[in-house]
Amino acid sequence: MCGIAGIFDLTGRRDFDGDLIGAMNQTQFHRGPDEGGQHLEPGVALAHRRLSIIDLSSGQQPMFSEDGNLCVVFNGEIYNFHTLSEQLREKGYHFRTRCDTEVILYAWQEWGERCVDHFRGMFAFAVYDRRAESVFLARDRFGIKPLFYSILPDGQLVFGSELKVLKAHPGLPRSLNVQAVEDYFAFGYIPEPKTIYRDVFKLPPGHTLLLRRGEPVPEAHEYWDIPFTPVQAGSESEVQEELLVRMREAVEVRMEAEVPLGAFLSGGVDSSAVVAMMAGLQDKPVNTCAIGFDVKQFNETEFARQVATRYQTNHFERTVSSDDFDLLDILADLYDEPYADSSAIPTYRVCQLAKQQVTVALSGDGGDEGFAGYRRYRWHMNEEKLRSRLPLELRKPLFGALGRLYPKADWAPRVFRAKSTFQSLARDSVEAYFHSVSLAKDDQREKLFSGKMKSQLAGYRAVDTFHHHAARAPTDDPLSLIQYLDMKTYLVGDILTKVDRASMAHALEVRVPLLDHKLMEWVSGLPSNIKLKGQEGKYILKKSLEPHLPDDVLYRDKMGFGVPLSKWFRGPLRDRLRGTITGGNLAKTGLFNQPYLEELVDQHLSGRRDHSAVLWSLLMFEATTKHDQFEL
């Protein structure tokens, strides 16, 4: 795992400053503390930070092809590089290393833009082609590895693994992207391809971008999408058997490393499944890491211990304080732009613990999206049954009125929160799902923003992101559609972003076997009624794992990686909260309706309402943007 950085002159062959590309690269030292390298020539500057995993003695970057024409900087892992190197050797290519980086060079030389079709792994890379005077950027299919880029006003392309790499360039425009602000307070993150800056972009998952000197900048090209093509599944028992075979193989290809390797073990289904597969694939005990909390409702360590005991893993565990809010400013520096998932705090701690034992860790991320594990999927499908019985023309006025009249009950269990259900039933399927996942609902964002901010939005709404993806979805199955929406937004923008920044902060590589694209292509085509069966999410995954995991792990309620925000805001973060809202930079931006912000604080501190999620998003917005001095 590594960090990449680069500058490419799209208009000529200017000489770039070695100190500048060095400073850009140094901002991501944490991503690759083992080695650093850079290359400069007229019109291009490339740099790399290395975390050594395979072929420790060679594999330094930037790396050139044998003839010196091609140069690559690469972040990630190509798991099938042994097979590809053999194929390329048969075509006459000569390899000087035993690492996957060199495979990218010759795959580009042989297959051009279609080289990515041959790669199985997680990756973000740039190939500079001297003769073609081009740079080719590519990102893996699910967006496990990040890649930011911008075209500067003077015709320079700048790119890097984190936004801070680009921010180190003095020519980077930092104009606020107001649509990204609307997105952030709806989703809790800024979805691809946007960033907080209007002129900076994330290359979307499954996309490439080929830029040639002297030619117009093209649109990014999508080379892969989650297919949701129905598969011939066979009987339920046959599906279970095939699922285990495919999952075991996806884990196995991710176990190659020349450094210590282990796994996260939360005590949930997905991480436990990965550990069970690993234990069957190696003779020595699996290294496992778990984080516990000093508040019982957030603590899953007893379930992690059950799995660790069953498979006799080398288990490491640490209990962290429920008042671990000192990480707020550290997280702001890690994420570079507003990011409001508070589970980033325990994720940071479990990566910190894991790095003390291993350099590579396997995780269970992607299981909820792939196998329909989120509770919200059950709620949505229950509501879909009601929506299917009444046309929208009848539902909208009837349930819309009930939603406005019914009192809000944040304190009540979800089943009793009829206001939210009525509001969902008054919408079509896509808008209803957006409503269910929104951090600040539509009516809250209407009051949250200033009149000037709303004017600049010019009618844009965050739900437009969902409509954009829904219009391109390869499925019209109701459950598959919302899984697809999550894979295009929440998975990459929240989950994978969280894990990448938290792990790389500790120079830890995290591999995600449940997001193996071959496995997910097959899983996406399984019938929805064996993913969510009745009220049981991940049904087929759990049934296949019954011989391998305890029922307590498989069939208990999902807990998640939660933190007690509500308690923090009424206790140790009370003064910081009030100071940020009433006297901080938020008021200076002109983005917000200040009286409403103060109302949110007053209602929360008095205990009348729970606004903890929105208040946390405001704190994180202020912490990550305070040096930008945005003003409308």
The SS3 of residue 428 is coil
CA distances from 224 to 119, 143, 155, 518, 566 (A): 12, 11, 29, 12, 41
> Which residues are bridge partners to 123 per DSSP?
76
Q: Which of 2, 71, 99, 351 is catalytic?
A: 2
CA dist 495 and 368 (Å) reads 11
Give the single-character DSSP code of 326: G
- 486 in Cβ contact with 369 (< 8 Å): yes
Q: What angle do CA 22, 28, 30 make, to 5 degrees?
A: 125
- The H or E element spanning position 149 is strand 148-151
Two structure tokens written together for 56: 């420790």
List, in order, residues 6 or more apart from 66 with CB less than 8 Å away.
Answer: 93, 94, 96
Give the single-character DSSP code of 460: -
Two structure tokens written together for 292: 């516990």
CA dist 121 and 99 (Å) reads 14
List, in order, residues 6 or more apart from 85 with CB less than 8 Å away.
Answer: 95, 102, 103
Residue 99 a catalytic site member: no
Classify strands 207-212 and 314-320 as parallel, antiparallel or unpaired. Answer: unpaired
CA dist 276 and 311 (Å) reads 7
Task: Work out the number of other CB atoms within 10 angstroms of the CB of residue 451.
Answer: 9
CA distances from 617 to 158, 187, 584 (A): 29, 10, 14
CA distances from 378 to 5, 221, 314, 399, 414 (A): 43, 34, 36, 20, 12
**Most distant CA pair in the chain, distance:** 73
Rounded to the nearest 10°, the torsion over CA 253, 259, 260, 266 is -50
CA distances from 125 to 103, 158, 211, 323, 370 (A): 12, 13, 14, 39, 26
Classify strands 44-50 and 509-511 as parallel, antiparallel or unpaired. Answer: unpaired
Two structure tokens written together for 214: 């002297």
CA distances from 191 to 32, 444, 488 (A): 26, 20, 8
Which residues are known to be catalytic? 2
